[in-house]
Structure 1
């Protein structure tokens, strides 16, 4: 077996890396701190609690929402 063949064989045996889109997503309960609500990730979040289903936001959006000081985000 040549070096190229060994490398190819090894590459096919290893598990593919998970992309961000493949990572688990979670249901969230989001409440905006400002009384008029707050817009983030393309969604207006009111001052009242809103439950969002699993898969509504990508892993990157969840990180953004959790780091936003104007939102209270709870995992469900």
Structure 2
């Protein structure tokens, strides 16, 4: 998807849901997706048009960011 950002992969759903709530509180609309084994959850969000990555990182409270080749992750 255009402007989609992967926010992390979590070992349990509870951890992913806590992070999702924090990202929602920052004004984003994240979604939670099962990833691979039943015990892994993938959290991703979509940036509004014109949003700069540094702005998103600051608003989300993310400690770090890194670029990944999305095709390798699926």
Q: Same fold (TM over 0.5)?
A: no
What TM-score comes out, normalization by structure 2 length?
A: 0.30
Mark the structure with the bigger radius of gyration. Answer: 1
